[in-house]
Homo-oligomer: A and B are copies of this chain.
């Protein structure tokens, strides 16, 4: 029984390595395409319901008139998020992963059949809601942004360090609820910095609008630097 388990695990590791290698090759091609088309790409990561789509809506409201934005949406089922983005007059392609717990490079390649990145300055890839599985998957992005929602608790960077380690930016969302819940944005930020000291961090509330400008100003400066 033990030997059988060992064989299965070793097979799984070998296949996972092959799958990661295949993904890295695809991600390299994606990166080349995004560079050629001067498209700045953000891979957006978070638990379910942390506010990924709300952040996109707020970002579109602030930057949509200045920057050509497009969104690839990843969800197990439904096109609810994609419809929300389209309601802002922004092109959005929905990927449904079904049981799949993260996006992979080949899914982005397929979604690009419906997009021409020559017309895009800023491409958001909203990953599947999951604080674990999307971490190691390169999608050819410029940056990974993780959203931690304050009502989820301030200990998430300690429990789920891999996604914080993989990320370049931390958005602390739903700070308007501070005082109505037991977690603190200061503690969350301290915990995140203990995992990755040089994260760029933006506490904000998509609902109240507080802090959104800090995020969109920073993002706009990144796009301008990249397209110079």
Given B48, B135, B149, B160, which contacts A131 in the complex, CB threshold below 8 Å?
B48
Q: Tell whether, in the assembled complex, residue A77 and residue B161 are in contact, meaning their CB atoms are under 8 Å apart.
A: yes
- Chain A count of residues within 8 A CB distance of the other chain: 47
* Interface membership of A119, Cβ < 8 A: no
Whole-angstrom distance between the alpha carbons of A152 and B153 in the complex? 12
* Interface membership of A19, Cβ < 8 A: yes
- Quick one: given A8-B18, A19-B8, A129-B131, are A152 and B49 in contact (CB under 8 Å)? yes
A19 CB contacts on chain B under 8 angstroms: 8, 12
Whole-angstrom distance between the alpha carbons of A153 and B19 in the complex? 33
* Interface membership of A75, Cβ < 8 A: yes
- Quick one: given A49-B152, A151-B149, A152-B49, are A76 and B129 in contact (CB under 8 Å)? no
* Interface membership of A110, Cβ < 8 A: no
Please provide the chain A residues from 95 to 119 with a CB less than 8 Å away from any CB of chain B in the complex. 99, 101, 106
Given B50, B152, B177, which contacts A177 in the complex, CB threshold below 8 Å?
B177
Distance (whole angstroms) from the CB of A124 to the closest CB of chain B: 18
Whole-angstrom distance between the alpha carbons of A151 and B161 in the complex? 22
Complex copy number for this chain: 2
A149 CB contacts on chain B under 8 angstroms: 49, 151-152
Output the residue of A48, A78, A159 with the most chain B CB within 10 A.
A48
Q: Tell whether, in the assembled complex, residue A101 and residue B130 are in contact, meaning their CB atoms are under 8 Å apart.
A: yes
Whole-angstrom distance between the alpha carbons of A158 and B177 in the complex? 25
A177 CB contacts on chain B under 8 angstroms: 151, 177, 180-181
Interface flags, A148-180, vs B, CB<8A=1, else 0? 010111011011111000000000001011001
A-B contact pairs, 26 of them (CB 8 A): A5-B22, A8-B15, A8-B18, A15-B15, A47-B48, A48-B153, A48-B156, A48-B160, A49-B151, A49-B152, A49-B153, A50-B152, A76-B159, A77-B158, A80-B155, A99-B132, A99-B135, A99-B136, A99-B162, A101-B132, A130-B130, A130-B131, A130-B132, A149-B151, A174-B181, A177-B181
- Which 10 pairs between the two chains have the least Cβ-Cβ distance? A49-B152, A151-B151, A49-B153, A101-B132, A47-B48, A48-B131, A47-B47, A75-B159, A78-B158, A78-B159
